[in-house]
Amino acid sequence: MTSFSFNRVGAICQRHFYVLRRSWPRLVEMAYWPTMQMVIWGFLSQFLASNSSYIAGAFGVLISGVMLWDVLFRGQLGFSLSFIEELWSRNLANLYCSPLTPLEHIVALVAMSFVRAVIGVVPAMLLAIPFYDFSIFTLGVPLLAFFFNLLFMGCALGLMVTAMILRYGLAAENMAWFLVFFLAPFSCAYYPMTSLPGWAQVFALALPSTHVFEGMRAVLFHGTFLWHHFFLATGLNAFLCLIGIGAYLVSFARARRMGLLLQVGE
């Protein structure tokens, strides 16, 4: 049995330092999640500290925000992972040797996004009833509007992620987790948009998710469905979906032209 060697320990550490030095996404990832947590909960804490009247009704709003945020997250992740799994299994080239078209593939990924989102969030919604005596289903018909707007925003983001993966390979895989959480502080799932600084409110207004969560709070606090938020969310989602489809088709055409479909799993 050989003796313990700090040289061997140092060699392993040096190996990982070389990996980190040459991979900026790994370096960004280490600081990304703590920063996002700090920003989101910082805005929430700041808002609650100056709006004590909000706290009385905050429970239902916060737990609804958590569950609806997961619709967006699971929708985007379900779309992206359904595509990434084809790369992990090196099956993408096999798919496109068949008569499958890119548009048909997109529709199939949207369907899988819906299935994954339902499987992911519906059990949590049901368990909240016995655990906390709270049912998000009391939102009624507006819940469907919120659900599908968030789901389709997730699919639009998923299209952008898959376009980047087709362009840059699995080096862009982490975008499946990064992108949606980058938008989290500006989506205002847990606090009103007015709690953001002015420059951030401008960006937040361009996100469908912001209008969904503003609409959710209006229903929970005032029993009012704000149609202008619904139409804005739907219109912005349509715009994002068009951008996502365009980005996917352009990246796919480039990958096919350069023969990358056979190598994108590398």
Domain ranges across the chain: 6-263
Mean pLDDT score, 218-233: 90
Residue with tokens 């048909």: 104
More confident residue, 56 or 210: 210
Q: Are 217 and 192 in contact (CB under 8 A)?
A: yes
> Which positions ≥6 away from 245 have C-beta within 8 Å?
106, 159
* pLDDT tier, 266 (very low <50, low <70, confident <90, very high otherwise): very low
Q: Is the pLDDT of residue 188 over 90?
A: no
Instruction: Supply the pLDDT for residue 171.
Output: 65
Q: Would the pTM of this model clear 0.85, i.e. be above it?
A: no
More confident residue, 185 or 177: 185
**Mean pLDDT, the chain, whole residue set:** 82
Q: Is the pLDDT of residue 72 over 70?
A: yes
More confident residue, 42 or 234: 234
Percent of the chain at pLDDT > 90 equals 21
Instruction: Supply the pLDDT for residue 4.
Output: 79
* pLDDT tier, 54 (very low <50, low <70, confident <90, very high otherwise): low
Q: Are 20 and 26 in contact (CB under 8 A)?
A: yes
List the single range of 36-50, 74-88, 241-255 with lowest mean pLDDT. 36-50
Instruction: Supply the pLDDT for residue 17.
Output: 77
Closest CA to 255 of 172, 138, 149, 154: 172
More confident residue, 97 or 39: 97
List the single range of 2-16, 147-161, 177-191, 198-212 with lowest mean pLDDT. 2-16
C-alpha separations of 58 from 48, 125, 138, 216, 218 in Å: 9, 17, 16, 12, 13
